[in-house]
Structure 1
Amino acid sequence: MSRLLHTSDWHVGHTLYGHPRTDDFKAVLAEIVDIAQESQPDLIVHTGDLFHTSRPPTPDLIRAMRVLRQLADIAPTVVVAGNHDSPTFFEFFDLMNGPSVGRGLFFVDRFRTADEGGVFTFDACGGEQRIRLAAMPFVHPNRFWQRSSLTTSRADYTEGMRGLQQQQLDALRKDYDPDRDVLVFAAHVYVTGAKRTESERRRMDESFGIAQEVLPEVSYTALGHIHRPQTVRGPTFPARYAGSPLAIDFGEIDDSKSVVVVDAEPGRPARHVPRALLGARRLAVFEGTLAQLRAEAAQYDGTFLKAVITGEEPDVPLAQKIAEILPNAIAINPSLGLEPTGDIVFDFDPGEELELPDAFRAYLGQEGVSGAAADATAAAFVRLLNEVDDEAPSPVLAEELLRAALEDTWTEES
């Protein structure tokens, strides 16, 4: 039986509202190496978004490459580029760490045909079986842009992706031995119907996805791009998102992060089992009073905490109060949950537009700011308005340089 380890969407270098997550990455990546050592796969596949940015800082490069080398010492490791990754960097990684220098690391920077290196064959089970892998990195919709239209249409994208996938599958099945070969497809792509987080829904265009029914009929399809671990096909032809190894934002706080251990026999659907990753600092959301937070402190200890505090005056130092209750937590943009107040009344004609200071004061009331706090805030707002009215526009350096050049033009005689 062939064994595959599937991981994805590490997003190394990600920060949470400016807070580095170095310790989190160190913990979960060490867990992945431990699972690989324990499970002893024949092949390890990473389905994209290795880094969070296309130009990762040097410490993040070192961290990711060190872990990938550890994995490659256990089994051949293939990494396909995601939409966050730089194809140029991946080409460089393959040159420096790939098979040309004797290492078992393979970086797929862009869509490649079988002749260009888009299809791999690896021995498994001591040579008794082979894993044949077709690897499809993220393909930008612009690849299928037609000159006759302003943007890539959904139909163009769907047809284009279907064609690229078919090229790889034809190569995958060439000289296929049904008694020996395990077929695997790895892609960084959005499959329509997959469950996304709120942040992914904002970033990801629903039009540019592929339908579940067009996924290939192979033993296992390893998917990347969506952070929530999930199966997107039935048991006949399994396809699964491994998901991110740690929560990237607060929309993922309920996700159970994991990697996937896949066991497969030639010509049969694979058996895939998620292995939990628990090393990262947990993300949590709290809404209530400071007294309630104090009573539930054990639940939020050591978390990244997004807190909305109710029942407090606007001038309360929330970050300080939360730190006193939870010294081991990291408070992310704590805010006051204020109810709209009805003590601000304006006597004006509904058809008449409010002056800006009065409109701002009404806004404060809607946000629940009243009394002395509203007075002080409104007064500061008026002072700022007056300063803007009284001041001349600040000089712009480019305008000053241009004006000086026009006043003192250069001639050949000078």
Structure 2
Amino acid sequence: MRILHTSDWHIGRTFHGHSTLDALAEVLHALVAQVREHEVDVVIVAGDVFDSATPAASAYTLLDEALLALHATGATVIVTSGNHDSAARLGFHSRLLRDGIHVLTDPRAIATPVTVHDEHGPVQFFGIPYLEPAIVRQHWVDADGAGPTLRTQAQTMAHAMDLVRAGMDAHPGRSVAVAHCFAAGVDATVGLEREVRQGGLDVVPLTTFDGPDYVALGHIHGRQQLSDRVRYSGAPLHYSFGEQHKERGSWLVELDAEGLVSTEWIALPVPRPLVTLTGTLDEILAHPDAAQYAESWVCAVYTDAVPQHEPMRRLRERFPFCAMVQHAPAERTDAAEHSYAQRLRTAVTDTDRIEAFLVHVRAGHGPTERESELIREVLDDRVRAEALV
């Protein structure tokens, strides 16, 4: 059996204010072609199908088109929900979907697999939707209100995998688990979800996933191999400049009669490459490869000592798809190490206060000689005006 493992489509996400629907549609079209080319039997989408719990109508349209196209290849499609999805909305039409498309969003059904047969017998697919402990613990209490302790996602995922292993005992055959979480062993430097970076890491130990022949994970936007049989596929598009060096693609997984045989990375096209250019604003504008980056998303990090006038407008004249500008001075003076409040405490005159402000907003660089002259002229004019009142 051949399985294609993908995840984190994030349908509806914008990239620095720009829609990604057309780009994602192009990539998913390529993914469908790969499913047909490699004669894939099962396609797994491991959570975060949508980017929002309330996706726009256009997002639903793209999902419908993608699922129908995948179904038309003859593959079975298995979808689970992620932390960005509304499990209720994503699963609303699950009973109405045609045979061969399964949307698994109910935590109460974790132990009940989707069974797909090949020449070697059944393969059991167990879908674990994203589990928020405070929300899902109610599903696993008895009549007396007793149940497992589920305060963290690690504890909740451990309980879910116990249910999977119970399901494996009840449904013999090879097995695949699908989940959406942050697992121990992930490279945490790039490709993390916004919420993971901001809210901290609730790490699920790798041993939690013992049992199945393969575990298809979602939640991390760069591909990761935690073991031969536990992997992240990452997102099909680059959704931040921090992901720009991560390949986009899916894992092609093959099972034989005994279980996992092989995994192969299948790369996806990148509709618009991402590039980060660093230097002074003039250096970036005069970059020798500017023509090469004319069709790329550009992040410009300019290192001038002081902020430049209208940098985005000037950059877009050179790079039409400049999406982000950052000011990162190459050098900071000793004055930049003091807080604004500290500098104000030592300021005596209005000139001192203005200079303290300029040092604060210019990474330690005070007024130029010409600016100092203008400041003195303005302050002198103010004193003369007050004297006439």
TM-score calculated relative to the size of structure 1: 0.75
Quick check: 2:50–2:85 contact (8 Å CA) kept in 1? yes
What residue number does 2:66 align with?
67
What residue number does 2:95 align with?
95
- The percentage of counterpart residues that share the same residue type is 24
Any idea what SS the aligned residue of 1:300 has?
Answer: coil
Question: What amino acid does structure 2 have at the position aligned with 1:164?
Answer: A
Residue 199 of structure 1: how far off its partner (Å): 5.0
Of 107, 126, 129, the residue aligned with 1:137 is 129
Quick check: 2:110–2:160 contact (8 Å CA) kept in 1? no
What residue number does 1:38 align with?
37
- Distance verdict in 2 for CA 1:35–1:358, change over 3 Å: same
Quick check: 2:44–2:79 contact (8 Å CA) kept in 1? yes
- Distance verdict in 2 for CA 1:239–1:377, change over 3 Å: farther
Quick check: 1:218–1:269 contact (8 Å CA) kept in 2? no
Correspondence 1:160 to 2:151: no
What residue number does 1:401 align with?
none
Distance, in Å, in 2 between the alignment partners of 1:287 and 1:169 is 51
Quick check: 1:245–1:258 contact (8 Å CA) kept in 2? yes
Distance, in Å, in 1 between the alignment partners of 2:118 and 2:40 is 9
- Could you report, residue by residue, the CA deviation over 1:259-310 in whole angstroms, capped at 9, with x for unpaired residues? 1111111333331111001233122211113335521224533121110223
Residue 220 of structure 1: how far off its partner (Å): 1.1
Question: What amino acid does structure 1 have at the position aligned with 2:43?
Answer: I
Question: What pairs up with 1:325-404 in 2 under 5 angstroms?
Answer: 325-327=318-320, 329-333=321-325, 335=327, 337=329, 339-340=331-332, 352=345, 354=347, 357=354, 359-368=356-365, 370-371=367-368
What residue number does 2:101 align with?
105
Question: What pairs up with 1:8-407 in 2 under 5 angstroms?
Answer: 8-74=7-73, 75-96=75-96, 98=97, 102-113=98-109, 118-125=112-119, 128-142=120-134, 143-144=136-137, 153-154=151-152, 157-176=153-172, 181-196=173-188, 197=190, 199-200=192-193, 201-203=196-198, 205-206=200-201, 208-233=202-227, 235=228, 238-289=229-280, 290-292=282-284, 293-311=286-304, 314-327=307-320, 329-333=321-325, 335=327, 337=329, 339-340=331-332, 352=345, 354=347, 357=354, 359-368=356-365, 370-371=367-368
Residue 364 of structure 1: how far off its partner (Å): 3.4
- Please report the RMSD computed on the Cα atoms of aligned residues, expressed in angstroms: 3.3
Quick check: 1:219–1:270 contact (8 Å CA) kept in 2? no
Residue 370 of structure 1: how far off its partner (Å): 3.0
Quick check: 2:218–2:234 contact (8 Å CA) kept in 1? yes
Any idea what SS the aligned residue of 1:168 has?
Answer: helix
- Distance verdict in 2 for CA 1:32–1:376, change over 3 Å: farther
Residue 19 of structure 1: how far off its partner (Å): 1.5
Quick check: 1:27–1:279 contact (8 Å CA) kept in 2? no
Distance, in Å, in 2 between the alignment partners of 1:194 and 1:229 is 10
Q: Structure 2 unaligned segments of length 5 or more: list them.
A: 337-341, 379-389
Q: Structure 1 unaligned segments of length 5 or more: list them.
A: 381-414
